[in-house]
Amino acid sequence: MPIEANSAVAIDYKLTDDNGQMIDSSEGQDPLWYLHGHENIVPGLERELTGKSEGDSFKVCVAPEEGYGPRNDSLQQEVSRKNFEDAGELAPGMQFQANTEAGPMVFTITEVTEEMVTVDANHPLAGQTLNFDITVREVREATADEIAHGHIHGPGGHQH
């Protein structure tokens, strides 16, 4: 069965940056399940998976515009350390969720001084080319509930 809209798809993947550094992998874990055509994975990878079938293996480079987007410098800001009084010890790489006018956003701390904390709301992979090594493990028709909810249920998917 070829992958098309509303297919339930399981993939094994390795994700590296342009220097070959491993970013993420499903190796040693269950495959990643997603609902095709419902924006559950980055657009460039989803496009490349369309038409593939169980057992297909391929490599694809996804540009930032079809991955996590280009970096947006306006999503970085310095805030007073007083805003983090209840957070304990702060360090670069820590993440916090904050309610904003645009809704909840995740911020990553990039720098900490005695008075200020620099935070970045860009996705950690924004601006990076994503290099995927993919094997399609399974393709099946999604259930009506999965389609209605926009994600896979059961093993490898969301549990209700």
**Which sequence spans correspond to the domains of the chain?**
7-68+126-149, 73-120
CB 55 within 8 A of CB 2: no
pLDDT of residue 101: 86
How many residues comprise the chain?
160
Please state the pTM of the whole predicted model. Answer: 0.84
Q: What pLDDT was estimated at residue 7? A: 97
Does the domain at residues 73-120 carry the CATH identifier 2.40.10.330?
Answer: yes
Per-residue pLDDT of the chain (160 residues; tens, 9 = 90+): 999 999 999 999 999 999 999 999 999 999 999 999 999 999 999 999 999 999 999 999 999 999 999 999 999 999 999 988 888 899 999 999 988 888 888 999 999 999 999 999 999 999 999 999 999 999 999 999 999 999 998 665 655 5
d(C-alpha 3, C-alpha 9), whole Å: 7
- Structure tokens given for 16: 């590296």
Q: What pLDDT score does 15 carry? A: 98
Please give the CATH topology (third level) of the domain spanning 7-68+126-149. Answer: Chitinase A; domain 3 (3.10.50)
